[in-house]
């Protein structure tokens, strides 16, 4: 375990993250990059950009609360130190997505009310299930909920959003690529560290499986709310705005109706959950479909 955890040291983190792929960036993007004019001009697209970014802030605030809360529950020093780097990663994500809200024109004094207005209630429930485990200082369930379920979801969602924005909004795509690199590290830690703890505490399996099923349901409900009745695609059609091809998971997202995109995203995340949970000895539970 010691050798594996040494790969997650703060020294490695300093070299690979702030002194590596974040070097020279400003709130996660290249200096001088800005949001596309279209987002400022079009009311519907602007509101959808706000709504999407608020969900990212809500998710990252949850991740910040969870990773910091798990430090005191961690059974060894090396895990505490890895979670310290994860805590700062999550705080950085909160900061850069909050900054995006400011860049989209949200006044600082209105930040909390905008978040309250647009936060998806299913995402809030998703966070609630995880934070309940963290509050109880349940390290094993907390890390599975945080580093496998939440981070696994974030990783896939960010990858999809990155593909969609790579050509249309390079600033946002750059912000996402840094967070994707962070999430990859977090998921890796979860899989590596928790496998051994699950073996040590096999009695925890049923409770963790229930948590995964519940969190997965709220995740799917959040996706459903985000994609169904989303006016952005129709607005792009109305504007006859040329959409750049966005290849992801073998499909072209630019040619898909939102419902199909929802289905591709949900299937990708759930497939990843199944594989990752299998690796740590947890049996994936199929959630109800909203």
Q: Which residues bind to other proteins, rule: CB under 8 A? A: 9-11, 13-14, 18-19, 22-27, 31, 64-65, 68-69, 71-72, 76-77, 80-81, 83-85, 87-88, 90-92, 94-95, 98, 108, 111
Closest CA to 34 of 146, 172, 155: 172
Minimum distance from CB of 134 to other proteins (Å)?
9
Going by their DSSP bridges, the two strands 247-248 and 251-252 should be labelled as antiparallel
Minimum distance from CB of 74 to other proteins (Å)?
9
79 or 156, CB closer to other proteins? 79
Closest CA to 287 of 146, 94, 129: 129
Closest CA to 44 of 257, 228, 236: 236
Q: For residues 187 and 148, is the Cβ–Cβ distance under 8 A?
A: yes
Q: Any idea which residue has 């750059």 for tokens?
A: 174
73 or 187, CB closer to other proteins? 73
Minimum distance from CB of 18 to other proteins (Å)?
5
Listed in sequence order, the DSSP H helices in the chain are 2-6, 10-16, 37-41, 43-71, 77-103, 111-118, 121-135, 139-143, 151-165, 170-200, 205-227, 231-239, 258-279
Minimum distance from CB of 73 to other proteins (Å)?
10
Q: For residues 173 and 162, is the Cβ–Cβ distance under 8 A?
A: yes
Q: For residues 186 and 86, is the Cβ–Cβ distance under 8 A?
A: yes
- Estimate to the nearest angstrom the gap between the alpha carbon of 140 and the chain centroid: 20
Sign of CA dihedral 126, 132, 135, 136: negative
72 or 241, CB closer to other proteins? 72
Minimum distance from CB of 94 to other proteins (Å)?
7
Minimum distance from CB of 106 to other proteins (Å)?
13
Minimum distance from CB of 70 to other proteins (Å)?
8
What's the DSSP call for residue 245? P
Q: For residues 28 and 96, is the Cβ–Cβ distance under 8 A?
A: yes
Six token digits for residue 177: 């690529």
92 or 171, CB closer to other proteins? 92
23 or 37, CB closer to other proteins? 23
76 or 283, CB closer to other proteins? 76
Minimum distance from CB of 85 to other proteins (Å)?
6
112 class by beta-carbon count within 10 Å (0-12 exposed, 13-18 middle, 19+ buried): exposed
Q: For residues 120 and 58, is the Cβ–Cβ distance under 8 A?
A: yes
């Amino acid at each position: 375990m010691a050798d594996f955890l040494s790969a997650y040291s703060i020294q490695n983190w300093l070299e690979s993250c702030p002194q590596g792929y974040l070097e020279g960036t400003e709130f996660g993007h290249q200096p001088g990059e800005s949001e596309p004019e279209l987002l400022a001009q079009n009311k519907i697209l602007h509101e959808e950009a706000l709504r999407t970014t608020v969900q990212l802030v809500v998710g990252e605030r949850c991740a910040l609360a969870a990773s910091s809360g798990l430090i005191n529950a961690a059974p060894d020093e090396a895990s505490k130190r890895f979670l310290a780097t994860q805590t700062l990663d999550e705080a950085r994500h909160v900061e850069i997505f909050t900054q995006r809200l400011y860049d989209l024109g949200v006044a600082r004094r209105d930040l909390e009310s905008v978040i309250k207005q647009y936060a998806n209630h299913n995402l809030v429930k998703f966070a609630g299930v995880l934070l309940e485990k963290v509050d109880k200082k349940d390290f094993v369930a907390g890390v599975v909920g945080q580093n496998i379920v939440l981070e696994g979801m974030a990783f896939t969602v960010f990858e999809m959003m990155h593909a969609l924005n790579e050509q249309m909004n390079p600033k946002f795509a750059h912000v996402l690529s840094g967070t994707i690199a962070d999430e990859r590290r977090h998921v890796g830690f979860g899989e590596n560290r928790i496998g051994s703890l699950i073996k040590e505490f096999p009695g925890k399996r049923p409770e963790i499986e229930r948590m995964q099923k519940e969190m997965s349901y709220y995740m799917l409900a959040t996706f459903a709310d985000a994609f169904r009745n989303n006016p952005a695609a129709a607005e792009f059609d109305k504007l006859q705005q040329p959409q750049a091809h966005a290849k992801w998971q073998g499909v072209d997202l630019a040619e898909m109706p939102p419902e199909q995109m929802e289905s591709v995203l949900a299937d990708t995340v759930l497939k990843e959950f199944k594989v990752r949970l299998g690796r740590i000895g947890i049996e994936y539970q199929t959630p109800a479909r909203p």
